[in-house]
């Protein structure tokens, strides 16, 4: 097990290295420099700044320097904010994003599983069609539409919750809801399909033949088996949430990573863009790793297959 | 001997998009204490559906009991509430399923799966139930039960899993055990072991067994009585000797005739011509008439009643009517019947 985790961490580092490399060269392909928007600077001033940040060096040298700093844990200094380290900027920004992401993923997935369960138990009944309707809406309508609707109705018309900004828990509710619609819908559809299949399997009949009641059949025998495939999609869901935050944070003016990322792209702030990309990539590979380990917890067949070696 | 189970005019239907499929069309039989009744018949004859109906485990919402009574110790199971049935299932009537590879929950320890009904029906504590589970694993001859009880199904072979399924079914000393093709998915040597095990356990516990199979060799080995099902009806029922040595229904002749024997010399296997009737629109008269080379005119018009052959032996064929011509089973079938008799008596003889 320990060996497996070490191996996975090694692969994780390789992945991050590749992503760092690709994002570095993609940055270089972008038109313009961080100073493009600064039209008040004279030609000389530009030269001084470019020289200072090493942007006049040939690209391979820039790349080697970048990697060298990266290995030491230094993500560079932002162009946009004077003399502020990228690490520091990201640290300030990660809190709101993490809170939104976790709230949306956890609550969305749990609600989705419950909705899917209800649909499966009530197969071809009212609840089934109801949850299918919710799921199709959730999957096909983009989150920014929901965001706008929530802001208008809940925030403005009803005035129950703040429309935007970030100043305490109640500010996180609307963006979390807008974000969680997609994972909720996906989890609901998935759980329904899996649960229907599991409920039709032989061991469920065995359980019924033992005299287990419906509740026991669904939760004790059904749910765990239906959850195994569901774990697989939590990774991609987490990723879709990360990309979702780019838009949602912008709409709700949440000072998170996503909003930072968007404004950095607008200003060609290379170090921040690359730092954010790396952070997203890092979070993604870590989530995948956790999910792979989670498989073993839920499914004894996978756990023991690894343990035997 | 007292009747454990009495099934009277049981009819089971399935609602499909095309209409009502009459899977079981009026089945009557009884099961005595401690006896083994085998139900044989080809796929789709309604054997499994009949037993699922006994447990009230028909696939919902399409399958339902249309008519009839299932008397278990005098109580009509058709009229019991779901709650009542949950109390009965696993305690008084249990079931062994066909495929041991899929009938155990893959994410639950084997011990927990056995303990479940003990805790539910016999109100045992987890500790007691675990002790009993180990005893049961020992009873079904699984080596190292103390270790095995904590393992998952994937750590067991097919034959071992079927032993676990049997242990689950036996956990609460059921009065009736329904075995739905329990050996079909196993290879032949394991089949023999499982059959021996079931016979031993029956002797020990005096359980009544309904044994569904399409393997006539297995029937000869385990059963006291045989019911032959065709198109949702029992066409012949009697003791093993009645049905094997003195079969009366042409369908039973066909079944016996299509069974290969060890000493048969023909290169080709005999098969009953034609296909079973469509139970969406059951044919008029005897359902077997169109495949029956001995069919009489009346077979196409009117359904034959059950004729009594002997005290224990009944068959539903017009050939038994007093006006019917005297027809003997074909010679090839007779020859095979002798062959089956010799194969079948082998294991039985060993036993005594």
Are A111 and A21 part of one and the same domain?
no
Alpha-carbon distance values, A308 to A304, B101, B179, B316 (Å) = 6, 21, 35, 59
Q: What is the pLDDT of residue B346?
A: 43
CA distance B224 to B238: 9
Mean pLDDT is lowest, of A101-110, A229-238, B88-97, for: A229-238
Same domain, A178 and A271: yes
Tokens representing residue A123 in the block = 């197969």
Q: Which residue of A has its CA nearest to B168?
A: A210
User: What pLDDT does residue B351 have?
Assistant: 38
Residues 6+ away with beta carbon under 8 Å from A96: A166, A172, A249, A254, A255, A256
For residue B29, give the nearest of B50, B44, B1, B48 by alpha carbon: B50
- Statement to judge: residues A50 and A163 lie in one domain: no
Mark which of A71, A98, A118 sits at the end of a domain. A71
Q: What ipTM score was computed for the predicted complex, to two decimals?
A: 0.82
- pLDDT value for B294: 78
Query: Does a structural domain hold residue A172?
Result: yes
Contact B293/A at CB under 8 A:
no
Residue B253 has pLDDT above 70, yes or no: yes
Q: What is the SS3 assignment for B45?
A: coil
Residue showing tokens 């969305």: A108
**Averaged pLDDT score across all residues of chain B:** 84
Residue numbers in A near B152 (CB within 8 A): 300-301, 304
**Angstrom distance (rounded) from CA B136 to CA A59:** 74
Per-residue pLDDT at B140: 84
Query: Does residue A57 carry a pLDDT above 90?
Result: no
Q: Are B240 and B220 spatial neighbours (Cβ–Cβ below 8 Å)?
A: yes
Same domain flag for A13 and A100 = no
Query: Which pLDDT score is estimated for B336?
Result: 66
Interface test with A, best of B62, B81, B106 (most A CBs within 10 A): B106
Dmax over CA atoms of chain B, in Å, equals: 67
Peptide bond between residue B217 and the one before it cis (omega within 30 degrees of 0): no
Let me know whether A205 and A67 are in one domain: no
Which of A263-272, B134-143, B278-287 has the highest average model confidence (pLDDT)?
B134-143
In the three-class reduction of DSSP (H, G, I as helix; E, B as strand; rest coil), residue B321 is classed as coil
Q: How far is B23 from chain A (nearest CA, A)?
A: 19
**pLDDT of amino acid B349:** 38
In chain B, domain spans: 241-351
Residues of B in contact with A211 (CB under 8 A): 86-91, 117, 120-121
- 49-108 in chain B: CB under 8 A from chain A: 55, 57, 86-91, 94-95, 97, 99, 102-108
Q: Which of B181, B223, B208, B222 is nearest to B92 (CA)?
A: B208
CB A75 within 8 A of CB A87: yes
By CB neighbour count within 10 A (0-12 exposed, 13-18 middle, 19+ buried), where does B172 fall? buried
Interface test with B, best of A125, A194, A206 (most B CBs within 10 A): A206
Whether the per-residue pLDDT at A307 is higher than 70: the answer is: no
Residues A62 and A118 in one domain: no
Tokens of B188: 């032949």
Q: A5-14, A111-120, B167-176, B277-286 — which is least confidently predicted?
A: B277-286
Residue A209 to residue B55, Cβ atoms within 8 A: yes
Q: Using one digit for the tens of pLDDT, what is the confidence trace for A180-213?
A: 888 888 888 888 889 888 888 889 988 888 888 8
Residues A39 and A124 in one domain: no
Residues A28 and A97 in one domain: no
B162-178 per-position pLDDT tens digit: 889 988 988 888 899 99
pLDDT at position A183: 87
Mean pLDDT of chain A: 81
Q: In this structure, is residue A60 part of a structural domain? A: yes
Distance from CA of B10 to the nearest CA of A (A): 20
Least reliable range by pLDDT among A152-156, B145-149, B230-234: A152-156
Contacts of B221 (CB under 8 A, 6+ apart): B195, B344, B347, B348
| Extended strands (E) in B115-272 | 176-180, 208-212, 225-230, 233-239
Phi first, then psi: give them for residue B174, nearest 5 degrees.
-65, 155
Q: Would residue A263 count as lying in a domain?
A: yes
Domains contained in chain A, number: 2
If pLDDT is split at 50, 70 and 90, which confidence band does B226 have?
A: very high
A272 against A81, higher pLDDT: A272
Q: Is the pLDDT of residue A309 over 70?
A: no
pLDDT tens, position by position, B187-217: 888 888 888 888 888 888 888 999 998 888 8
pLDDT band at A70 (very low <50, low <70, confident <90, very high): confident
- How far away is chain A from the Cα of B46, in angstroms, using its nearest Cα? 18
Candidates B107, B110, B180, partner chain A, best to mutate (most A CBs within 10 A): B107
User: How much is the pLDDT for B350?
Assistant: 40
Q: Is the confidence at residue A251, as pLDDT, over 80?
A: yes
Question: Same structural domain for residues A61 and A101?
Answer: no
Q: What burial letters (b/e) apply to B124-137, b meaning 16+ CB within 10 Å?
A: beeeebbebbbebb
Tell me the pairing of strands B75-76 and B93-96: unpaired
Q: What is the pLDDT of residues B324-344, one digit of tens each?
A: 777 777 776 777 666 665 555
| More reliable by pLDDT, B46 or B60 | B46
Label residue B278 by pLDDT band (50, 70, 90). confident
Query: Looking at the complex, does the CB of residue B120 fall below 8 Å from at least one CB of chain A?
Result: yes
Question: Phi then psi for B14, rounded to 5 degrees?
Answer: -120, 130
Same domain, A294 and A162: yes
Q: Which is more confidently placed, A76 or B4?
A: B4
Q: Indicate yes or no: CB of B168 within 8 angstroms of CB of A206.
A: yes
Strands B19-32 and B93-96: unpaired
The DSSP H or E segment spanning B23 is: strand B19-32
Query: What is the per-residue pLDDT for B347?
Result: 44
pLDDT exceeds 50 at position B348: no
Instruction: Compare CB distances from B107 to A207, A210, A300 and report the shortest one's residue.
Output: A300
CA dist., res. B338 & res. B318, Å (int)? 25
Query: Considering the domain boundaries, does residue A82 fall inside one?
Result: no
Between strands B3-16 and B233-239, the pairing is unpaired
pLDDT of residue B39 exceeding 90:
yes
Taking chain A, what is the end-to-end CA distance rounded to the nearest angstrom?
A: 9
Q: Across the interface, which of B87, B89, B99 has its CB nearest the CB of A209?
A: B89
Say whether residue B165 is in contact with chain A using an 8 A CB cutoff. yes
Residue-level pLDDT at A76: 75
State whether A164 and A49 are in the same domain.
no
Interface size, chain A vs chain B, as Cβ–Cβ contacts under 8 Å = 77
- pLDDT of B69 above 50: yes
Per-residue pLDDT, averaged over B62-71, amounts to: 89
Strand order in the sheet with B93-96: B93-96, B176-180, B208-212, B36-40, B225-230, B233-239, B314-315, B307-308
Residue B105 has pLDDT above 50, yes or no: yes
Do A101 and A210 have their domain in common? yes
Residue A6: give the domain boundaries: 2-71
Question: Which range, A59-63, A121-125, A215-219, has the best average confidence (pLDDT)?
Answer: A215-219
pLDDT at B228: 92
**Contact (CB<8Å) A203/B104:** yes
């Amino acid at each position: 097990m320990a060996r497996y985790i070490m191996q996975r961490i090694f692969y994780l580092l390789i992945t991050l290295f590749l992503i760092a490399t690709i994002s570095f060269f993609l940055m270089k392909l972008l038109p313009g420099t961080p100073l493009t928007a600064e039209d008040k600077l004279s030609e000389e001033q530009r030269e001084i700044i470019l020289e200072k940040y090493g942007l006049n060096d040939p690209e391979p040298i820039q790349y080697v320097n970048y990697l060298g700093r990266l290995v030491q844990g230094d993500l560079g200094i932002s162009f946009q904010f004077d003399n502020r380290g990228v690490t520091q900027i990201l640290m300030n920004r990660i809190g709101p994003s993490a809170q939104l992401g976790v709230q949306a993923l956890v609550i969305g997935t749990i609600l989705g599983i419950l909705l899917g369960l209800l649909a499966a138990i009530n197969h071809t009944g009212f609840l089934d069609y109801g949850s299918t309707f919710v799921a199709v809406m959730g999957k096909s309508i983009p989150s920014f539409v929901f965001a706008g609707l929530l802001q208008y109705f809940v925030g403005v018309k009803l005035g129950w919750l703040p429309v935007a900004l970030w100043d305490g828990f109640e500010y996180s509710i609307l963006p979390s809801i807008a974000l969680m619609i997609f994972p909720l819908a996906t989890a609901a559809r998935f759980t329904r399909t899996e649960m229907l299949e599991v409920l039709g399997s032989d061991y469920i009949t065995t359980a019924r033949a033992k005299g287990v009641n419906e509740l026991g059949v669904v939760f004790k025998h059904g749910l765990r088996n239906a959850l195994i495939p569901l774990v697989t999609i939590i990774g991609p869901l987490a990723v879709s949430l990360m990309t979702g935050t780019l838009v949602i944070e912008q709409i709700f003016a949440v000072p998170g990573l996503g909003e930072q990322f968007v404004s950095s792209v607008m200003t060609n702030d290379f170090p921040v863009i690359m730092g954010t990309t790396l952070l997203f990539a890092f979070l993604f590979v870590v989530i995948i790793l956790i999910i792979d380990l989670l498989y073993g917890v839920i499914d004894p067949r996978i756990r023991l297959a690894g343990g035997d070696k | 001997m007292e009747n454990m189970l009495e099934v009277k005019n049981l009819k089971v239907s399935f609602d499909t998009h095309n209409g009502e499929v009459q899977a079981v069309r009026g089945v009557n039989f009884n099961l005595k204490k401690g006896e083994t009744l085998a139900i044989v018949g080809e796929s789709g004859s309604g054997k499994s559906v009949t037993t699922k109906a006994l447990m009230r485990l028909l696939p919902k919402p399409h399958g339902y009991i249309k008519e009839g009574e299932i008397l278990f110790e005098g109580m009509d199971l058709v009229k019991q509430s779901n709650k009542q049935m949950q109390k009965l299932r696993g305690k008084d009537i249990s079931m062994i399923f066909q495929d041991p590879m899929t009938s155990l929950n893959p994410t639950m320890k084997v011990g927990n799966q056995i303990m479940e009904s003990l805790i539910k029906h016999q109100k045992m504590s987890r500790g007691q139930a675990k002790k009993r589970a180990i005893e049961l694993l020992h009873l079904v001859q699984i080596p190292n039960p103390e270790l095995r009880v904590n393992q998952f199904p994937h750590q067991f072979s097919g034959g071992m899993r079927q032993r676990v399924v049997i242990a689950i079914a036996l956990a609460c000393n059921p009065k009736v055990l329904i075995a739905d093709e329990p050996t079909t998915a196993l290879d032949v040597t394991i089949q023999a072991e499982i059959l021996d095990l079931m016979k031993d356990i029956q002797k020990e516990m005096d359980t009544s067994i309904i044994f569904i199979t399409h393997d006539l060799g297995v029937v000869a080995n385990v059963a006291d009585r045989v019911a032959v099902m065709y198109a949702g009806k029992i066409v012949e029922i009697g003791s093993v000797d009645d049905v094997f040595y003195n079969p009366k229904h042409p369908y039973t002749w066909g079944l016996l005739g299509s069974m290969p024997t060890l000493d048969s010399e023909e290169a080709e296997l005999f098969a009953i011509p034609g296909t079973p009737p469509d139970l969406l629109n059951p044919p008029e008269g005897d359902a077997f008439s169109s495949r029956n080379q001995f069919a009489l005119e009346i077979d196409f018009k009117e359904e034959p009643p059950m004729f009594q052959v002997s005290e224990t032996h009944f068959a539903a064929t017009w050939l038994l009517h007093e006006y019917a011509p005297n027809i003997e089973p074909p010679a090839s079938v007779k020859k095979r019947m002798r062959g089956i008799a010799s194969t079948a008596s082998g294991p039985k003889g060993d036993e005594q």
